[in-house]
Structure 1
Amino acid sequence: MRFDRDDYSLVDEPSGTAPTRRRRGTAAALALAAIVPLGFAGWIGWHAAADDHGSRSGADTAQASLTAGGSGASTPDGPDAAGGSPSASASSSSAAPPTDRSGAVTTGRPLAGKVIVIDPGHNPGNVDYPRQINSTVFVGNGSKACDTTGTSTNSGYSEARYTLDVARRLRALLQSEGAKVILTQDGNLPWGPCVTQRAQIANAAHADASISIHADGAPGSDYGFHVILPAAVHTGGVDNRSIVGPSRTLGLDLRAAFAKATHERYATYINHGTGLDVRSDLGGLNLSKVPKVFIECGNMRNFGDAARMTSPSWRQLAAQGLASGLTAFLAR
């Protein structure tokens, strides 16, 4: 949101040799008849276990020790919201398919081995903790509020609810492609976390990419989405210069994929309608050590954008666009 964004002040092989003596043919045939079904059953069991293993996905979230709060997983916002796929366990006498350091099966899944951090902007509970979220944190080139409440549509649908719903939908899509996905908060914290901690979560995970999901609060006549890229910041013990280039590539991939999936136009009010903005005042970008961008998915104060963002089906399109952009970037 514009007025207080980011820091705001997402085989069977029985060889079957012929018997050497005719009188043993019947016994050999009976033995073979018994072995083949058993071998075929074992083959089916292995593949069932492999398929079950491939569908496994965990709902990884940031540790509650970063801020006060519980650690329970929340259900998505609204009846149409998408969640992560359920965990399952399988037993098999055969060896499990190979997995990587993220626990994802490494066969045939484009994001296997990738770690992605999704940062749902703000927190629905922030409004109840003004003292905590208004405390200041150092972001390298200045101080910012720990977090803010975010914006909302004119009818009261909050940015924090929107970002959390899209983040959960995006998580499910990325996990289905084999990625390990971490959310900076999943409705399991009473407020925050602070913008500094949101960056630290991705850094600690050595994420391959990180995205912070937001919506803007510009004047009602303005509309469209834009991606915020990090400017180089090298001061106050902070140096993000190594991630500026890859973050721009990530931003370009996300801009193209989001526009294609949602048919949302580039923001009419930012940087001459290019759909891109470069900023040095956002702690989440200044402090990042991994490729990271923000996306403002639309203007919640604009009637058309608000109608889209309050639609569960459009939020699913938004998540699909973000997933496609991240996949394009990580496939390079």
Structure 2
Amino acid sequence: MPVPPADAPDHHRRTRLLTLGAAVVVVAALAVGLVLGSRPLPRPAAQTPTAAPSPSVSMTEQPALAGLHIVLDPGHNGGNAAAAAEMAQQVDAGRGSRKPCNTVGTSTAGGYPEHAFAWDVAQRARGLLEAAGAAVTLTRDDDAGIGPCVDVRGRSAQEHDADLLVSLHADGSENPDVAGYFAIVSDPPLNHTQGVPSRQLATALLDALGRAGFRPSSSYPEALSERADLATLNLAERPAVMLELAEMRNPAEAAVAESSDGRQRYAEAVVAGLEQWAAERR
């Protein structure tokens, strides 16, 4: 039987120690793993989300009246009074009738003329309409000329390939107690645009004047007059409305018409009515 080496006991003792140490390491590692496994893993630092850039208004929205072409007809003219012969010339008024080329218009008791009122409101409205994206054509270039005649005014919308015609006036009732705005449409209509489309345009304009705080006329039901004798309306082949914005012989309304603030309010109401009409067509 072989004799074990002299150092055998020490060898076995070292082996046992090494085995025991390895076991301790394994147990320790397992313990650490259990401890670590019982803890939640650290989360990554929160990041603030980056907001998407807001789209530009110009990319998503169009002006309220973009693409609309409007003819504004400021009634009468500043030179009509000095051109009586020209104004008396007879022109086509539609329906086989004829009428004088144009007239002087009315005025307030203080002498402020309708032609100046209509011109100023038209100028203010044009600026607002163009800012809202509309193209605007006026039937006259200033407030110092004569005419144009009513037949020219009536045909202006189709001749300029416009979408509609709004003729701006002020009434001159002899009774100073009469007050309020009203609209006039051609009736009976001579073409399809003078029927429902013109009435819809009139309704939108009248609604806007009411919202602006102006008083509707008590002389006409729903502030709407129907006439067959006005060339400006009879000859139109687009929706056409004549607006009598104020009664110039009524003291209270004359004061509004004579004031810059009052004319601005009228212009803003006309534009609001056109915006309403355009929105209803979309």
Same fold, TM-score > 0.5, yes or no: yes
Determine whether 1:160 maps to 2:115.
Answer: yes
Determine whether 1:320 maps to 2:268.
Answer: yes
Secondary structure in 1 aligned to 2:140? coil
Determine whether 1:294 maps to 2:223.
Answer: no
Report 1:1-332 matches (<5 A): 108-141=62-95, 142-187=97-142, 190-218=145-173, 219-233=175-189, 239-261=190-212, 263-268=213-218, 270-272=219-221, 274-331=222-279, 332=281
Cα offset, 1:229, TM superposition: 1.5
Q: Read off the aligned partner of 2:267 and give its amino acid letter.
A: A
**Residue 9 of structure 2: aligned partner:** none
Task: Give deviations 1:70-115, integer Å, cap 9, x for gaps.
Answer: xxxxxxxxxxxxxxxxxxxxxxxxxxx9xxxxxxxx9621211110
Cα offset, 1:206, TM superposition: 2.0
Cα offset, 1:188, TM superposition: 6.5
* Residues 330, 245 of structure 1: alpha-carbon distance in 2 compared, 3 angstrom cutoff: same
Aligned equivalents of 1:325 and 1:298: distance in 2? 16
- The answer as to whether partners of 2:80 and 2:146 remain within 8 angstroms in 1 is yes
Cα offset, 1:152, TM superposition: 0.1
- The answer as to whether partners of 2:77 and 2:143 remain within 8 angstroms in 1 is no
Task: Give deviations 1:188-224, integer Å, cap 9, x for gaps.
Answer: 7620000110122211122112100000000211111
Consecutive unaligned residues of structure 1, counting only runs of 5 or more, are 1-46, 55-96, 98-105, 234-238
- State, as a whole percentage, how many aligned pairs show the same letter: 38
Q: Read off the aligned partner of 2:225 and give its amino acid letter.
A: D
Aligned equivalents of 2:233 and 2:243: distance in 1? 12
User: RMSD over aligned Cα, in angstroms?
Assistant: 1.9
Give the TM-score normalised by the residue count of structure 2: 0.75
Q: Read off the aligned partner of 2:155 and give its amino acid letter.
A: Q
* Residues 311, 132 of structure 1: alpha-carbon distance in 2 compared, 3 angstrom cutoff: same
Secondary structure in 2 aligned to 1:139? strand
Task: Give deviations 1:32-89, integer Å, cap 9, x for gaps.
Answer: xxxxxxxxxxxxxxx9xxx9xx9xxxxxxxxxxxxxxxxxxxxxxxxxxxxxxxxxxx
- The answer as to whether partners of 1:208 and 1:330 remain within 8 angstroms in 2 is no
Question: Higher mean Cα deviation, 239-248 or 312-321?
Answer: 239-248
Q: Read off the aligned partner of 1:149 and give its amino acid letter.
A: V
Q: Read off the aligned partner of 2:210 and give its amino acid letter.
A: A
Aligned equivalents of 1:298 and 1:177: distance in 2? 25
Higher helix share: 2
Which structure's CA Rg is the greater one? Answer: 2
Aligned equivalents of 1:188 and 1:301: distance in 2? 21
Cα offset, 1:330, TM superposition: 1.6
Give the TM-score normalised by the residue count of structure 1: 0.64
**Residue 5 of structure 2: aligned partner:** none
**Residue 42 of structure 1: aligned partner:** none
Number of residue-to-residue matches in the alignment: 223
Q: Read off the aligned partner of 2:191 and give its amino acid letter.
A: N
